[in-house]
């Protein structure tokens, strides 16, 4: 049950798109916000040994940004990535093992998200 709660929390954090949040992300579209949120989650989970059994697929991140028409050289990109990482970072600090399992279920092979962003080591 706890695993489902973490997965539900990650999903909610990753796909929220309220008017208040829209203003925090500037003039980004809902599609761009979702791409930023999912790639931020993948980057956090799959980098720096945070989840040691898998890693982020760098080319998949680039493909996701390209498909959403996100320009990574723009100043608001880094700000949006940092904003999108706040919720998942809190979840990771609470229970890293559950965070990793939920991220894998969301972004690993056959995951809930439309594009695989994580792969096993």
- 34-64 pLDDT tens trace: 999 999 999 999 999 999 999 999 999 999 9
User: In the prediction, which pLDDT does 51 show?
Assistant: 97
The structure's pTM equals 0.82
Contact 91, 6 (CB under 8 A): yes
How far is residue 88's CA from residue 118's CA, in Å, rounded to a whole number?
A: 15
- 77-113 pLDDT tens trace: 888 999 999 999 999 999 999 999 999 999 999 999 9
Contact 70, 26 (CB under 8 A): no
Contact 56, 43 (CB under 8 A): yes
Q: Which residues pair with 70 in a beta bridge?
A: none
User: In the prediction, which pLDDT does 85 show?
Assistant: 93
């Amino acid at each position: 049950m706890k695993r489902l709660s973490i997965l539900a929390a990650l999903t909610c954090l990753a796909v929220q798109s309220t008017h208040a949040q829209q203003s925090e992300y500037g003039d980004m579209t809902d599609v761009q916000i979702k791409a930023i949120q999912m790639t931020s989650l993948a980057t956090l989970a799959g980098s720096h040994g945070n989840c040691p059994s898998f890693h982020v697929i760098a080319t998949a991140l680039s493909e996701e940004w390209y498909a959403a028409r996100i320009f990574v050289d723009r100043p608001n990109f880094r700000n949006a990535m940092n904003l999108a990482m706040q919720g998942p970072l809190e979840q990771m600090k609470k229970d890293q093992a559950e965070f990793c399992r939920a991220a894998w279920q969301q972004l690993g092979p056959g995951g809930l998200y439309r594009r695989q962003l994580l792969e096993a080591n």
